[in-house]
Amino acid sequence: MCLAVAEDRGFPVFMSGTTDGLMRHFQPLQLATFTEAAMRTKRALVLVDLCGAFFKNGGLPVPGAESTIPGINELIMEGDEKGRFDLVVASYEEHWPGNLYLASTHGVAPFTDVVIDGNPKRVWPDHAMTGTDEAKFYPGLRIDLVDAVFRKGYELDSHPYSSFPGRLMWNGVELPVDLVQFLRANGVTEIVVVGLAFDYCAGETALDGVKFGFKTTILRQFSPAIAADSARFMEKRLRQARVAVIE
């Protein structure tokens, strides 16, 4: 794959590893002044972790995950009551054996806490393991219509819930661009979050959306939760952060 040099293309510094084919996603910021970009509302649909690990027969199945796919596909293709989205992005998880946040690495039962970097952290059953269908998008999801894909949890010491630390994937290569950089480079000001699961990764993505300055909505109908108690706690956090939670 031929890599373009960011400085020669007029890209931001963080795009030093991009490909020619990615250029079309960054034209809006180059063609508009910062004032124009600030005045324009651009919306992105963020699909969180709709990969095999979190569906039936996966390592961490989320109840009701399968039923969200038709509605999410409609959002991808048709948008919502405000119209079609300017961008659609998706994250997925992929883990190597030995990831510090997997119970098997520590020889303990899943869902227990172990000390990582001096702090207690929950560890999970093996899921989304590299080379398996669990690290691929769920069949039937219109991933062919998605503008950009971000991988998270690939490093052995990493297991972010939020999609924002995910790195941009292009033709199977991980680029040094995370989700917040990508959205800002495209002039996005508002995001709508859907995916798995409401009480963990989708919720944390929405919280990060507000933290990074995006007007943020999460659609509860297309973001099922793992458990009722953790869903209530997450909803409280989201509302306190002024995330719009739409049932």
Query: Has 201 been annotated as catalytic?
Result: yes
Query: Has 144 been annotated as catalytic?
Result: no
Q: Which residue in 105, 195, 104, 187 sits closest to 150, CA to CA?
A: 195
> Which one is catalytic: 126, 199, 201, 208?
201
> Which one is catalytic: 51, 126, 152, 199?
152
Name beta bridge partners: 80: 83
Distance CA 103, CA 80 (A): 40
> Which one is catalytic: 49, 86, 199, 208?
49
Query: Has 152 been annotated as catalytic?
Result: yes
Catalytic residues, by residue number, are 49, 152, 201
